[in-house]
Structure 1
Amino acid sequence: MGQKRYFIRDFTEVLERVDGQIDTVVDLFGGSGLLSHTAKHVLPGCRVVYNDFDRYIDRLAAVDQTNEILKAIKERLTGVEPNQRLTPGQRAEVLAVVREYEQRDGYVDILTIGRNVLFSGKWVTSLEELCKHTMYNRVRPGAYECGGYLDGLEVVHMDYRELFERERHNSRALFVLDPPYLTTECGQYENYWKLTDYLDVLRLLKGTKYVCFTSDKSQIVELCQWLAGEYRESAPMYGAEVRQRTNTLNYQAKFNDMMITRL
């Protein structure tokens, strides 16, 4: 689960630096679309390709339903202090609300619902998983809004390798790579995302303009530094600029996110 919102200022600075030098931004691992959205806002004249492999558009389409569910949950938790642990009865009421909507509509954005009732850093993708967790009153105030969020984007749902192959001959393209982090939750990629898959991504960096995101959990930067010492210019990430920030998920979980750029 990425923390790209903390890098928006840095990402914006990079985009402004290449303004006029590129005509396309290709977001190979689009996730929530935040980076694609930012790229289109900063460079409105550029073509921005958002690879929605996880089908985030389904969650956006369900925003009204999600707001209804959270409103119903909030009403049932009236009087419960923020971040307070729910009693078994309160927890049962929350699950009853979610189950009712899922049975009625056939779909519920469980991940977003979970972020409002689970401890910070915890997430689930199914009602079955949600039923296994302790819950807290973390329901956000107000409602989610997403009007116009994907306006102007070219939305595709492709394997990142196919998309790269389609766009790689454009010398005026900037590739944005935010692959699943090793040793972390990998969402839709979790069934196959291993070290070799990450190393395959590094092949895409050669000869391209890129912004690549990773973390110190993967130790991939240390690997690239070692390769740079051995193979110099031919090594992945050789001569790239690295920006870093520390993220705190909860009282016991911290890690360093990195944005690596070569233009």
Structure 2
Amino acid sequence: MRKQYLSAPLPFQGQKRMFAKEYIKVLQQFPDNTTFVDLFGGSGLLSHIAKCQKPDSTVVYNDFDGYRLRLEHIPQTNELLAELREIVQGTPRYKPITGDAREKVFECLQKYQDRYGYLDFITISSSIMFSMKYRLNIEEMRKEALYNTIRKTDYPLCSDYLDGLNIVSADYKQVFNQYKDKPGVVFLVDPPYLSTEVGTYKMYWRLADYLDVPTVLAGHSFVYFTSNKSSILELCDWIGRNKTIGNPFEKCTKVEFNAHMNYNATYTDMMLYKKAG
């Protein structure tokens, strides 16, 4: 019998493991031959569970962030982590990796990058940096403090994790347009959260992009994920009660001023004005 994962086999920012059991209950409301389209596939967990629960269904997994490539390199990642464990064995767990050990860590990373032409920086970041902090190349990682957070065991190979899925890699709007007119389709919609760190995603995620997502929900069955940081539900409720306001900033003149909080943090102040009449 196929193993069903309730959490992604490799670290991924924003995976829905906390929702897994409730998500399974939601899936039972749909017929066995449903087409599920995972627009923001991420770690593939939603797609994987849907296929396990509904084996006769068609499940489209949009692997825009290249998670399957990370899975393919698990043997090399385990090999690298085994060597890193040897390097940091003199460093207590959760303590900073400093001095000679720190330099040996970077030498090791460079060696494996040269050998395989690929490093799973998200998994590596979770192994030598604190939780939810990721750097996607060696140069950026050199600027950060390193800590011994390496897991003690290898990652499982999980060769069947993506079995049975229709895997694509495209902008979510392209995938949506391909399936929007298919009867009975259910869209799985887990976009990067607004007002949270989205540095590990390949896409540049703006407010306008986030607000575009609800346009795919109208008239379709869907399972949608968000957080209270985004205030998207409150915003949509407000729009629903103020349908005639339009865009109050249309035809405004905008003036911008770049402000500095400190040596490495800046933001842009904006002034918009329009004379009515």
Specify if TM > 0.5. yes
* 1:32 CA displacement: 1.0
Pair 1:12 & 2:44 matched:
no
Pair 1:198 & 2:210 matched:
yes
AA of the residue aligned to 1:173: V
Cα distance in 2 for residues equivalent to 1:73 and 1:58: 21
SS in 2 for 1:48: strand
Within 5 Å, give how 1:1-263 maps onto structure 2: 1-20=13-32, 23-145=34-156, 146-186=158-198, 187-191=200-204, 193-230=205-242
CA deviations over 1:85-141 (Å, ceiling 9, x no partner): 212222111111111100122111111111111012211111111111101111112
User: Structure 1 unaligned runs (5+)?
Assistant: 232-263
Larger Rg: 2
* 1:183 CA displacement: 2.2
Cα distance in 2 for residues equivalent to 1:59 and 1:206: 34
* 1:73 CA displacement: 0.4
Q: Is the 2:15–2:45 contact (alpha carbons within 8 Å) kept by the matching residues of 1?
A: no
TM-score (norm 1): 0.83
* 1:3 CA displacement: 3.8
Cα distance in 1 for residues equivalent to 2:93 and 2:211: 43
TM-score (norm 2): 0.79
* 1:61 CA displacement: 1.1
* 1:230 CA displacement: 4.0
What's the RMSD between the two structures over aligned residues? 1.5
CA deviations over 1:148-186 (Å, ceiling 9, x no partner): 011000000111111111101122111001111122233
**Aligned-pair identity (%):** 43
Cα distance in 1 for residues equivalent to 2:31 and 2:108: 48
Cα distance in 1 for residues equivalent to 2:231 and 2:137: 30
Runs of 4+ more than 6 Å apart: none
Give the length in aligned residue pairs: 229
Cα distance in 2 for residues equivalent to 1:205 and 1:27: 13
Comparing 179-188 with 132-141, which one deviates more in the overlay?
179-188
